[in-house]
Amino acid sequence: MPYVTVGKENSGNIDIYYEDFGAGQPIVLIHGFPLSGHSWEKQVAVLLDKGYRVITYDRRGFGNSSQPSFGYDYDTFADDLNTLIAKLDLRDVVLVGFSMGTGEVTRYLGYGSERVSKAVLMAPMPPFLLKTDDNPEGVDRSVFDGIMKSIVEDRPAYLSAFLKDFYNVDVLLGDRISKDAIQASWNVAAGASAKGTLDCVPSWLTDFRDDLPHIDVPTLIIHGDSDRILPFDSTAKRLPQLIKDSRLVVISGGPHAINWTHAEQVNPLLLNFLKGN
């Protein structure tokens, strides 16, 4: 399995696992919490069939990557992404982020877009999730405190509850999501770093408002109007005014995990955007 080393902790390397398939323009798919690069399976096959080179990777602490005790912040996440892009010498890249992965895309492009031609923010986290005096559209801090408390008390039970809202199971089970797919997601999430899972929560409160004006590539934003994890009004709805060359598409009835439950709508949007339409 291929890895790129992004640092060290004591006597061990910190390695990021990645998969690199196909040929053509490179598309880097950046997964959401608390899953892995394999959560893109409904997009990978389609992109390969259309002649793209597809790269997925597992965020530190998740999937097959190392599980260090530190580095669960967006400066480090963006550095990890940059190390992978540099190692593979990718150019004319399209960065596609889902949920937490949209933070990597935003922070990376905040540094510059020399190697990047386009970006996709799917179920995005930016601009700023935390409710403050100058960000009244945000979410109360007590919500995030409660999440951290639940993770510490019983992480497996928290993950089960989280995935119900991730997929809107009460509405979509048996139609757009199966019990088997939910169990597979839980297995991946439960195998992640316990500390990394906890430490990711404060990273969700990152203020990306200074990064967004630096995004100077065409950007597609996709969000479900029934997203229970990242509320539309706090996130995607605000982005067209903050990203110069952007387009927002709302998936009717879409939960958070639209790349899985609504792949038949998401994939054509993605392919059309890649073709320049």
256 is a catalytic site residue = yes
Is residue 58 among the annotated active site residues?
no
Active-site hit among 66, 227, 234, 246: 227
Phi, psi of 85 (to 5 degrees): -60, -40
Q: What is the CATH number of the domain that holds 127?
A: 3.40.50.1820
Query: Among candidates 98, 140, 87, which has minimal Cα distance to 120?
Result: 98
pLDDT at 1: 73
pLDDT value of position 171: 98
214 tagged catalytic:
no
Contacts (Cβ under 8 Å, ≥6 apart) of 17: 1, 2, 3, 37, 57, 58, 63, 64, 65
Q: Where are the beta strands (DSSP E) in the chain?
A: 3-9, 12-21, 26-30, 53-57, 93-98, 116-122, 219-224, 246-251
CB atoms near residue 21 (< 10 Å):
13
Domain count along the chain:
1
Asked if 55 contacts 36 with a C-beta cutoff of 8 angstroms, the reply is no
pLDDT digits (tens, 9 = 90+) for 42-59: 999 999 999 999 999 999
Which is catalytic among the residues 99, 193, 234, 246? 99
| Residue 80 Cα to chain centre, angstroms | 14
- Domain of residue 101: give its range: 3-275
3-state helix, strand, coil in the chain (%, to 5): 45, 20, 35
**Which one is catalytic: 31, 223, 256, 262?**
256
70-107 pLDDT per residue, tens:
999 999 999 999 999 999 999 999 999 999 999 999 99
Mean pLDDT, consecutive 10-residue stretches, the chain (277 aa), reads 95 98 98 98 98 98 98 98 98 98 98 97 98 96 98 98 98 98 98 98 98 97 98 97 97 98 98 92
pLDDT given for residue 277 in this prediction: 67
The residue among 223, 225, 260 whose CA lies nearest residue 239 is: 223
